[in-house]
Structure formats: structure tokens, C-alpha cells
Structure 1
Amino acid sequence: MDSHPDPVRVGEALGVRYVLEGQVRKIGERVSISLTLSETDQGTVVWSDKIQRPFEEILALVMEPSRGSPRPYPDGWRTQPWWRRAESRQKT
């Protein structure tokens, strides 16, 4: 299995416009998470991020949505899907 699949080929195979690739590694007592969002027409990276936190903090983040407490959303988060926001940022 290819560790870095081509977003264009993945998009064609799945019939999707965007592909999210991620990797999680444990480094000692910390967890490293890398994420890359690519569009599938050209394979262009739209967004990427990497975080490293102690395992307990990652676990708390994962468990937080299950607590059911509503949180405020940034501008248009609920009304506009993330891919639309990404598209509008690319056009400017």
C-alpha cells in the first residue's frame, strides 16, 4: 500500500472533489497528528496542519464532542460547508 497516495487518483476512484490524508504517530508520551486536505482536480494542497500534544490532551479533544455541549462556530461555519469556504479562499 502506498503511504502517500496521489490525491488525483484517489479522487477519480472515489468520485470526490477533496481528499483528507492523515497520519498519527506516538512519540514518547506525545502524539503527533498530521493532516492534509487536497483537491482532486490538480492534487493541490488546500490546507495542512500538524499538532503534537500529550496523549491525555488528544484524548480530551476526542472525547469533548461526545459531551454534547454546544460551542460557538466561526463565521458561517454552520451555514457554509468547509469545502465552500476553501473554494472561496482559493478564488481571492
Structure 2
Amino acid sequence: MGQDESTWVEHDARLLMAAQTTAPYPAGILIDQGLADKFLQEQLHPEAFETACAQAGQPLTLRRHAGYDHGYYFIASVIDRHLTHHASQLS
């Protein structure tokens, strides 16, 4: 989204969460992160989001998976848990 932070700040999950004073999703957020994702070190920074959630009191399950990237096979291996998670939020 560019080097100018003002162009992407309102889309950065870490900054949006850091601005919260209470948990916006009290039932929790579920994230699965492949540790072989080529964007992990330079762009994704899940640890920064994890810190922002902790500061806001936002429950977060951040599962890290060695050997997985952000591709089809990784998504196929975790999608069932995410569908179950979201379905439980709707009931």
C-alpha cells in the first residue's frame, strides 16, 4: 500500500486494534499463520497484531504452522476450523 502510512493506516489491523479500548470481538479472533509465508517477515507481522489484541483485551487464537505458506494447501488444511469458528459466532 506504499510507504506513506497515511494511505494505509485505516486498513492496518494492528493499528485498528490498538485504537480499541475494549474487545470488539469478545468471542475471539482466530488466525492461522504459515511460518513459511514469504510475506511473514516483511509485511504480515502477526506478533504486532497479537500485542495489540492483548492490550485491548481482545481474545485471540493465533496458530503458527511450520512448513506452510499462504497457499491453497495451507488454507485447505485449516478452513474447516475457521468455518466452525465463524458458524459458532452466528448461533
Q: Is this a same-fold pair by TM over 0.5?
A: no
With a CA cutoff of 8 Å and minimum separation of 6, indicate the structure with the bigger relative contact order: 2
Normalized per residue, the structure richer in strand is 1
More helix by share: 2
Rg bigger for which structure? Answer: 1
TM-score normalized by the length of structure 1: 0.31
